[in-house]
Structure formats: structure tokens, C-alpha cells
Structure 1
Amino acid sequence: MKYVIVLCDGMADEPMEELGGKTPLETAATPNLDRLAPLSEIGMVRTVPEGMSPGSDTANLSVIGYNPREYYTGRSPLEALSIGVDMEQTDVSFRCNIVTLTEEQERYEDRVIVDHSSGEISTEDAAVLVEALKEGLKREGYEFYAGTSYRHLLIWKNGQVVELTPPHDILTRRIGDYLPQDQVLREMMEKSYEILSVHPLNLERKRKGLNPANSAWFWGAGTRPMLRSFEEKNGKKGVMISAVDLLKGIAVGASMHNISVEGANGGLNTNYAGKAKAAADALIQDGYDFAYIHIEAPDEMGHQGNLANKILSIEKIDHDIIGPAAGMLEDAGEDFRMLVLPDHPTPIRVRTHTSDPVPYMLYDSRKAEHTADAYNEAEASETGIREDEGYTLIDHLFEKR
């Protein structure tokens, strides 16, 4: 038996007037989901525990079977594992986004955050800017590490975990009310703007009509995580297929194998088909039992407030991942169970994460189980099937209950 999770980051949404009261998932053309849904168990799952922040960190930990209340120590430490930073117990790590702020205001605190991802800046361009930050913000006890696209890392030796705001939660808002109380962190952010706003790479981006990556933004503080081995915990040999450092870090912490797919970038134009093939190859040829395929695009489009591209990302997942992955396993004669779900909603209306339960679809190639006619938020809510502790859903996938 083979097991697959297709994690469609931020896919869940709200009914929208411009879609005739439907959600993006209901609106998208998804023939492969439409084929599998009437044969599947469809229900709702709460991936974010009550009282915890609805981040991709807590939600994905939950989906992959780790109780966030027990295992969560912050987002950036998981990303540090992916980058290869060996944190000491006294280290504190921070996510360092390279963001776009407005430039017409004189004071830093009066600027407005326009884009949390600087137009999904390429990893290559971002690495140049992180090098400029390393040099311009050099300070004993603080160290920068380059990550992927706009997602980078700051380590504070013998530091303190401080409460900070994710930039995607305050898009279009004045930043003054959300700057760090810690004076050093605040000074570093302010100076980062002075360095990056005049950097030749950003001047060239502006000439091309691209968002300048003109400020560092720190958030997601935490300490070194300790995850139990996934194989030891579940008796399954697993692989992670993601372009996002957070998910790769979870895999490192859980002693899973990371598969890097050429052209996978965490954006709308990622290599969807390559991810499906990588999962199928790992399961069919390489002897793995479980594949976790993570796709970031619906979440990014939700943060951008781009309805058309959120729908498009869902259609690409259906056409290039769900259909081919299921087809390759069927053609190989493998029995499999496939779980499809978002980690959390990222509604177009609010352009950030919410902690509402999300719809899931669990398909078993050996048997049909009709619980709904289609896979979407409305149908899933009406089945009455509900998982209130998201971290237990993987036990259901693995038929442990």
C-alpha cells in the first residue's frame, strides 16, 4: 500500500459574490478531483489548534501528524533545519522576509507594506540582497543566512523569543504599529531599508516595473525544534516534495527524505508535473511508502488577492499533480490512499491565513466510499464528517483506526 498527501497550501476560501456565491475551489475546473470525489471520504478537519496562530508551520505539522502543542517551537527554526543551520539550544532564529515597502514617506514607520514577497523575487536576486544585508548589518551575535526566494533567516546568539507580526498579515497597513519592541531588531530593519532601497539590483527592478525588495522584515521567532522520526512514529518511509524551506525543514526534523524538483519554486509557475513524477518515482521505483507533495501557489495567490490566479493554481494542481500521480500509481498496479487538503484557508478577502477548518478528501483505490458528490468547502461541511484534532488525520490515512 502506498500513501500520498497532496497539500494545497491556502486553497480553502470563502464564498465570493463575484463567483456567484462559490469559492475558488468550487469554481475551478477540476476533472480529476471530480472523478475521485464521489468515490472518497470527504469531511472537514481543524488543522490549527484552538488558540494557536494559523500559520503554515502549525498547520503542516498537524497534517503530517505532529501535535503542534507538543512539537511547535516557532516557524523559523524549522526553516533553519532546511538551510542546514545547526542551532544551539540558546540560539533564537527569525524568518527574514525581503519585502516591498512604499517609498514616498520620509519616516520608516510611516511606510506601508505592499508585498510580503517582493513580487516572488527569484532566489538568485534575493541572494545578492542578503549578501548586502550581511555586510551592512554586520553585528556580533547576529548572523544572516540566505534561503529561497523572499524567505531568509536571522540567527540571534543567546537571544530571546519576541512577539513579531508576519508581514502577510498586515499588507497595505502602516508598519509603525507592528515594528519590533526590541531596539536592535528595529534598528536593523530600518537600516535594511537604507541599504536595499538604493541597491543597484532594486533600482533595476524598479526600471523593469517590478516591486523593489527594499526592506528586511523579521518574524516567526523560535528555538531549536525536536521532532520524532517520522518512520519511527508511523512505520512508514516517507519523502517530502516541496520548494519551501519550512516544509523541507519539517522533513529534516522528522528524518524524512527531501526531493528537490528542478523548476519548483513555490510560486504560481512552479513545476507541478515534476512534483507528481517525483512522488510516483519515489513510491513505485524507490521503495518509499509515503509522499507528501506540497504546493505553495494557492496560498501565494491568496496573499496577493489574485482571484484568477488562485483558481488557475487549483486547476494546475488538479491537471498536473492529482491526475498524473493517481494515474501513475494505477498504471503500476499499486494500491494507494490519497489525502487531498489545504493546510489552512487563505481567503482572497483578507489576504492572510485564517484558522477555520478545511475540507479534506481521502481516496482509497481499493474501495469506493461515497460521502459527497464533489470536493469543496460546502460539500465537505454537509457530510458531517469532522476531525477536530488535525494531527490525528494521518492515522486515518494510514488505517491505524
Structure 2
Amino acid sequence: MKLLFLIADGMGDWPLESLGGKTPLQAAQTPNMDAMAAQALMGRCRTVPEGMAPGSDVANMALLGFDPAQHHTGRGPIEAAAQGLELDPEDLVWRCNLVTVTDLGLSGTMRDYSAGHITSEAALPLLRDLQDHLGDETFTFHPGVQYRHLLVQKGGALEDEATLAIRPPHDITDKPVKPDLMTFSHSPRLWDLLHGAAERLAHKNNTTKANSIWPWGQGRPLHLPGFRQAFGLSGAVISAVDLVRGLGRAAGMEVIEVPGATGLLDTNYQGKVDAALKFLETGDFVFVHLEGPDECGHAGNAADKTEAIARFDARIVGPLRQALGDDAAWLIACDHYTPIQERTHTSDPVPFLFLAPGITGQSAAAFDENTADAAGLVLEQGHTLLNWCLERIKR
């Protein structure tokens, strides 16, 4: 039987006055998920282990069946796996955002963690320039997707920088950067790199909103068990973001690139659907990830987040359900909450829906945070969810 995990990143939320006391998921038009809820098992799943930061890296690793407490080394290493970078065990890999700050003084503020959602095409010459002028035997810049890039520090896992705690830029939008600058100052070479990059980005030829880099999420290279060996399934991941692709590549899964997949509201929904169906002609498991709701949550835009969820239902869930129907098993969830009020991730247990032939559900009228909570089922270890689904398919 084919198994699909359909993940709307950051979909979970809290009630909002602007939505009449509803969450974006409750406010969105989601007829496909609601129809499935009438037959499905529902509950909540704790995708972020206690004591770990509620990031997409941790949460999606758990959803793919791997225990973050055992395997997670940092966000940067996951995205390095997506790029297939050749790394030594002692290398330190940083996620390196292009960002917009008011300035890099102690009174500075993080204005935009994505530099205005800079395109990959606009970011590439900036990264090449940084590498040409600042790259050396210790630090190398590696272009990624949109604002998401990498900085590799040769042998850095053995250096003091490995323990620096820099906040993710999406956690500090419109907030002072002083605490992080104080942390950066503990590493003179990282401090010089940060300010040297700002000087390069101030060049008149840079017409983007990117005026600084922001290294964070560092760790040693990632190693995961093989997905087929761990779960007996041939699997694939489909996502616009390097993070999810990196997890898939590290686990030996097929990583399917979809042209026009942007991670935003304008992503290529039909391309993702077509890619999933093509893979399932011979494959067993596909992990379809949609970034849009998370980006809208970080922006604090309730209307756009509601629309992103509606599009997930209409353009991902609906077409796949129509194509495969009762001949497949379905898990629908988010990886973590990205509440509009917070504009960053939280570690709330996420709602999930599971539907497969022979399943007797709770006859819920809709799929949302409240109906999942009312089901009374909570999986305290998120990495067990995949096996939980497989056990019910086998029954």
C-alpha cells in the first residue's frame, strides 16, 4: 500500500481575534481534509523533543521517523546534505541567511530574516562575491536557495565556535540583535567575517535588501540510517527547501526537484502533485512538504496563512486524494506551530490525521487543532509516528 505524508509547514496556530476567534486552519476552506476527518484517526504528536529548539529541522526529522535527540547535529549540516557537500568529520557547517538589519551596532534590529525573500538568482552573485573576497582556508561560502545559504568552517567542530548559541533570524524579526552580536564577539574571526560581509553587501552593485549575513544553526556533518533499511520502504521527499531535501538525501531517499517550487504562496502545486504520483508508480512512501503556511506565520499575516492552508487543501490534498483515493494511506500534519502572534515556531504538539483502508475514525466534522485535541490521542515521541502508521496499515 502507498503511504503519503502531506506536511503543511507551520500550519498549526492559536485562535486570533482577527479571524473571529478561529485559528487559520479553522478559518481556511479545507473541504478535502474535513471530508477525510469524518473517517480518520486524529490526534496530536510531539514532534519536538523536550529541551530541543522547535525548528523545522528537528520536527521534520521526527516526522521522517528519526529521533532528533539521537541524530540531530544542527540545521546547517542538514542543508549541506541537500547540496551533497563533501565534508570532514571535524568541519562545522553553519546555516547562513542573507538578512536585512538596521545595522550591526549594538542598537541594531533584525528587519527581515529573508532579505525581502531574495530570489536564488539574485543571491547567487552575492555569495560568489563573498567567497571571492572573504573565503579562505577556514571559511567557505556555499550558495543555496533564496535566502538560505551555507558557511563551512574547516575543522570548526573542534573550535570554540561550535558552542556559540546564535538565535535563528526568523525568531528575532523586529527585535534587537545585541544579544547575538555579543555572542559573535566571542569569536574574533566570525566577528570579522560578519562585518566584512556587511561591507561587501553595501557595494553599489547590490540592489537587493540583503545587507548582512547571519550564521547560525551550526553542527557537525549529518549521518542518518538508510530509510529503506529502517522502514522497509522506498521513499521520496518533495519540497522547495534544502532542509527537507537534506534529510531525504541523508537517509538515502529519492529527492525530487520540482521546477517552480518556491516555498511561497506561488509555488508549483501541480508540479508537486505530479511528481508524487509519478514516484508512487513504483515507490512506497512520499513526503510532500509545503513551506507556505510557515512563511506566512513568520510574516505575521493571518490572511495569507489562511490562504496558504486553503491552497494546500485544494491543490495538494484534493488532487492526490482524487488520484489515489482509498488505495492509499494518508498522514496529514504540520511539523510545528508558527503562531501569527509569535511569528516564530513553538513546540505545541501538532494535530495529525491518519486515514487508511480498514481504519475506523472518530467521525469528526473537520480537521483542526480542536478536533485533533478532542480525539484524546497524543504521541509523545514524534519519531514514532511513522511506525505508528505502518503498524495500522499492517493490521
- 1:392 equivalent in alignment to 2:394: no
Equivalent in 298, 311, 320 of residue 315 of structure 2 = 320
Query: Does the 8 Å contact 1:371/1:383 carry over to 2?
Result: no
- 1:304 equivalent in alignment to 2:306: no
Match of 1:216 in 2: 213
Match of 2:289 in 1: 294
- 1:130 equivalent in alignment to 2:127: yes
Match of 1:359 in 2: 351
User: How far apart are the structure 2 equivalents of 1:269 and 1:291?
Assistant: 22
- 1:255 equivalent in alignment to 2:246: no
Following superposition, the deviation at residue 177 of structure 1 comes to 1.4
Query: Does the 8 Å contact 2:12/2:25 carry over to 1?
Result: yes
Following superposition, the deviation at residue 385 of structure 1 comes to 0.9
Q: Deviations over 1:345-366 (max 9, x none)?
A: 0001010000111100111145
Match of 2:238 in 1: 241
Query: Does the 8 Å contact 2:41/2:359 carry over to 1?
Result: no
Question: Structure 1 165/336 Cα, relative in aligned 2: closer, same or farther at 3 Å?
Answer: same
Equivalent in 148, 151, 174 of residue 176 of structure 2 = 174
User: How far apart are the structure 1 equivalents of 2:301 and 2:125?
Assistant: 28
Equivalent in 98, 105, 121 of residue 108 of structure 1 = 105
Query: Does the 8 Å contact 1:335/1:366 carry over to 2?
Result: no
Match of 1:340 in 2: 332
Within-5 A mapping of 1:34-183:
34-102=34-102, 108-159=105-156, 160=159, 161=162, 162-179=164-181, 180=184, 181-183=186-188
Following superposition, the deviation at residue 367 of structure 1 comes to 4.2
Q: TM-score, normalised by structure 2?
A: 0.95
Following superposition, the deviation at residue 158 of structure 1 comes to 0.9
Query: Does the 8 Å contact 1:137/1:191 carry over to 2?
Result: yes
Q: Secondary structure at the match of 1:398?
A: helix
Q: Deviations over 1:268-291 (max 9, x none)?
A: 2111121112111111x2x10000
Query: Does the 8 Å contact 1:329/1:336 carry over to 2?
Result: yes
Following superposition, the deviation at residue 134 of structure 1 comes to 0.9
Letter in 2 for 1:185: L
Q: Deviations over 1:17-63 (max 9, x none)?
A: 11111100000001111111111111111000011110111101101
User: How far apart are the structure 2 equivalents of 1:87 and 1:60?
Assistant: 23
User: How far apart are the structure 2 equivalents of 1:39 and 1:199?
Assistant: 59
Following superposition, the deviation at residue 108 of structure 1 comes to 3.0
Mean Cα deviation higher: 172-181 or 248-257: 172-181
Following superposition, the deviation at residue 65 of structure 1 comes to 0.3
Match of 1:209 in 2: none
Query: Does the 8 Å contact 1:239/1:292 carry over to 2?
Result: yes
Please list every run of 5 or more consecutive structure 1 residues that lacks an aligned counterpart in the other structure. 206-211
Query: Does the 8 Å contact 1:13/1:347 carry over to 2?
Result: yes
Kindly report the root-mean-square deviation, in angstroms, between the aligned alpha carbons of the 2 structures.
1.4
Match of 1:208 in 2: none
Query: Does the 8 Å contact 1:6/1:341 carry over to 2?
Result: yes
Equivalent pairs counted in the alignment come to 385
Please list every run of 5 or more consecutive structure 2 residues that lacks an aligned counterpart in the other structure. none
User: How far apart are the structure 2 equivalents of 1:51 and 1:374?
Assistant: 32
User: How far apart are the structure 1 equivalents of 2:244 and 2:59?
Assistant: 11
Q: Deviations over 1:150-174 (max 9, x none)?
A: 0000000111313221101111112
Identical residues among aligned pairs (%): 41
Q: Secondary structure at the match of 2:391?
A: coil
